A and B are shown apart, each in its own frame.
Chain A
Amino acid sequence: MTDAAAPTRETDPLGVSPVAAAMKASLHGDRIYHVLTTAFAAAVPLLLLLIAISIGLAAWPALSLAGLSFITASEWDVAAGQFGAAPAIYGTLVSSAIALVLATPLALGVSIFLSEIAPKWLRQPVGFLVDLLAAIPSVVYGLWGIFVLIPLMRDPVGPFLRETLGLAKTPMFSGPNYGYSMLAAGVILAIMILPFISAVTREVLLAVPRSQREAALALGATRWEMIRDAVLPFARSGIIGGIILGLGRALGETMAVTMLIGNRPEISASLFAPGYTMASLIANEFSEATSDMHLSALMAVGAVLFVVTLIVNAIARWLVWRVTKGAR
């Protein structure tokens, strides 16, 4: 860059004024800034691409061996060289879905309360406490799950769902209930993603203009009608953005889920049955994997997780696009 700057100053035939020279210098600064920021911006997608390529290459031996059965078969037997990741894919999707179903209404409720209903002095401390949930390490969630959540799942949650709500006959709540289950994993994930959804949602709701609220109230809306018809529709796309952020976290969460899901590579309709997730599978087996095919199979699981995350994100973006279009 100094090479470029030096000749201009010396060979300037017209004897430019100091001001113009300064402007020129700042123009160089602009160019450098432009190049630098472009380079930084390009580095991120490039990194993503490199990760995708290296995972893809490492995963290829297992994927080409197992073919489509890698994602459809449910036999995961390392010794026999059978790698069917279907139970782990199913477990990742189901546990994340449970988490979203539980966390979304809760997070929305917290955010609406904090932005619309709570007195000002309560907003900061409660908001801070909810955000603090995000700062707890996931292994601590796992430990808490083992000592508190799992006994609770066994009693009273299990009997409550089965007997009190009479769901025992449905396949979703059948079979023995040891506590370590898909449901337990979903519940812990719900708690973990709650602060992400609620933090974003709260800010979005606070960003809704006063005039929007005042207009609704002026038209005779009650407070609930004002929130439902004026505030929430305005904030819709931001809320969905928060949910996507939470979903991303739920799909990739490893430690806490591994500690609570029971790690059983089986697809069961019952939420009380143990399950497995892709992230848990990798975390469990990577450190002791020595055979090339086993390592490659674990990489392939990573690749599938990568693709599943991309697909889920794409669907979510499409939803945002639909919703914002509908709002106009």
Chain B
Amino acid sequence: MKRLIIAAVAFAALACSAEQSKDGNDSAAGASRSGSVDLTGAGATFPYPLYSKWFADYANQTGVRINYQSIGSGGGIRQLSEGTVDFGASDSPMNDEDIAKAKGRVLHVPTVLGAVAVTYNIPGLSAPIKLTGELLGELFAGKIAKWNDPRIAAINPGVALPASDILVVHRSDGSGTTFVFTDYLTNASRSWAAGPGRGKEIAWPVGLGGKGNEGVAGQVKQTPGAVGYVELAYAKQNRLPFAAIRNRAGNFVLPSPDGMTAAAAAVAEKLPANTDYRLSIVNAEGAQAYPISSFTWILLYEQQADAAKAKKLVDFLRWALTEGEKQASTLDYAPLPATMATQLLARLDAIKVGTAQ
């Protein structure tokens, strides 16, 4: 019997270790510093497909190898603050508390744009449903109970909406996607701004929580009447239906790389020269702007300790902002507006070598 208990415990340990390794963020990045890796970074999962392509291409062209751990934006910010990585990556800008904890001035470098799509499961609906920010605020707060609510019907004339209950599905894990979506709701819906507000994880008034894009998409797919939000790249690659959202100019826009770049361009035009690039571009102006768009950032210290590493990092960022941008839309991300990329290239000159502070 003892032998069996030991075997059972060993089984359990095996089963657990798979999960724990996911949480062992700090050790993972530490271990990766050995070997012939030139730069290490950690952070957002959202741009990871593009970043890994960038790092592979860049290594082929220049021989500079970059190790990137996609452990989540929060982890990226933490590790940058602790100085265990050369750069961090995040889907939401660092807040003032994060900045106060960092070991020096952090430069936010927007790399590409992403969007959040509102996906739904309404049987029998062929064309994309149209929604507005105010309506989304009510929907996700549980204040609209059925799909054939007159307020939804009013902006979807001629569409046969079912009388089924609406089930809200949101992310249960902390996520930049949630931040962008709730940032939009806070911006576009007065009732949402007064209620739950924005954050990577918020207290949702109603609904089910799914872990990751796949968790939300799975629950929406399986439940008639469900509505949720996922990254556009995920929605496109999995052929999920998504809603056309009314932008500030009054047009209903489906999410697309052009729509995201248009949203960024509208904001970039008015950018002061000394901006810190902690920009929100939700609900942006511009006739074709898709309103639930966001930058994703690479974070690095303006004062770099190691001259060789600093040069490699800046060289890579220059490459990313020029050559790298061209690859963005093939993976359902959007490139930065050209004026902004130029401005950023100039800003990279501000990176200095020397000890912090």
Task: Assess whether B207 is interfacial by the CB under 8 Å rule.
Answer: yes
Q: B18–A274 contact, CB under 8 A?
A: no
For B11, what are the chain A residues with a Cβ–Cβ distance below 8 Å?
A: 134-135
For B172, what are the chain A residues with a Cβ–Cβ distance below 8 Å?
A: 258, 263, 280, 284
Q: B4–A77 contact, CB under 8 A?
A: no
For A75, what are the chain B residues with a Cβ–Cβ distance below 8 Å?
A: 203
Q: A203–B4 contact, CB under 8 A?
A: yes
* Other-chain contact of A78, B97, B199, B223 (Cβ < 8 Å): B199
For A241, what are the chain B residues with a Cβ–Cβ distance below 8 Å?
A: 5
Q: B174–A259 contact, CB under 8 A?
A: no
Task: Assess whether A3 is interfacial by the CB under 8 Å rule.
Answer: no
Number of A-B contacts (CB under 8 A): 126
Q: B18–A138 contact, CB under 8 A?
A: yes
For B350, what are the chain A residues with a Cβ–Cβ distance below 8 Å?
A: none
| Interface 9-residue window, one of A19-27, A157-165, A175-183, A214-222 | A175-183
Task: Assess whether A38 is interfacial by the CB under 8 Å rule.
Answer: no
Closest to A285 in B: B174
Closest to B175 in A: A288
> In the docked arrangement, what's the CA distance between A232 and B168, Å?
49
> In the docked arrangement, what's the CA distance between A139 and B23, Å?
15
Task: Assess whether B210 is interfacial by the CB under 8 Å rule.
Answer: yes
Q: B207–A79 contact, CB under 8 A?
A: no
Number of interface residues of A (CB under 8 A): 50
Q: A200–B8 contact, CB under 8 A?
A: yes
Q: B71–A287 contact, CB under 8 A?
A: yes
> In the docked arrangement, what's the CA distance between A46 and B219, Å?
44
Q: How far is the CB of B228 from chain A (nearest CB, A)?
A: 12
For A310, what are the chain B residues with a Cβ–Cβ distance below 8 Å?
A: none
Given A75-B203, A284-B173, A263 contacting B211 (CB threshold 8 A): yes
> In the docked arrangement, what's the CA distance between A161 and B9, Å?
35
Given A79-B199, A180-B219, A288 contacting B174 (CB threshold 8 A): yes
Task: Assess whether A204 is interfacial by the CB under 8 Å rule.
Answer: yes
Task: Assess whether B78 is interfacial by the CB under 8 Å rule.
Answer: yes
Q: How far is the CB of B151 from chain A (nearest CB, A)?
A: 22
Task: Assess whether B287 is interfacial by the CB under 8 Å rule.
Answer: no
For B57, what are the chain A residues with a Cβ–Cβ distance below 8 Å?
A: none
Task: Assess whether A146 is interfacial by the CB under 8 Å rule.
Answer: yes
Over the window 77-105 of chain B, the binary record of Cβ atoms lying under 8 Å from chain A Cβ atoms (1 yes, 0 no) is 11000000000000000010110000000
For A252, what are the chain B residues with a Cβ–Cβ distance below 8 Å?
A: 16
Q: How far is the CB of B206 from chain A (nearest CB, A)?
A: 9
Over the window 166-194 of chain B, the binary record of Cβ atoms lying under 8 Å from chain A Cβ atoms (1 yes, 0 no) is 01000011111000000000000000000
Task: Assess whether A14 is interfacial by the CB under 8 Å rule.
Answer: no
Task: Assess whether B47 is interfacial by the CB under 8 Å rule.
Answer: no
Task: Assess whether B248 is interfacial by the CB under 8 Å rule.
Answer: no
> In the docked arrangement, what's the CA distance between A164 and B48, Å?
50
Q: A138–B19 contact, CB under 8 A?
A: yes
Task: Assess whether B1 is interfacial by the CB under 8 Å rule.
Answer: yes
> In the docked arrangement, what's the CA distance between A305 and B176, Å?
27
Closest to B75 in A: A287
Counting chain B CB atoms within 10 Å of each CB, which of A138, A207, A263 scores highest? A263
Task: Assess whether A315 is interfacial by the CB under 8 Å rule.
Answer: no
Instruction: Identify the 3 closest CB pairs spanning chains A and B, nearest first.
Output: A288-B174, A263-B209, A263-B172
Q: What are 20 A-B interface contacts by the 8 Å CB criterion? A: A77-B203, A78-B200, A146-B218, A179-B222, A179-B223, A199-B7, A203-B1, A259-B215, A263-B210, A263-B211, A264-B209, A274-B209, A283-B19, A283-B23, A283-B173, A285-B173, A287-B72, A287-B74, A288-B74, A291-B97
Given A176-B165, A287-B74, 5 more A-B residue pairs with CB atoms under 8 Å apart are A82-B203, A180-B208, A284-B174, A285-B174, A288-B173
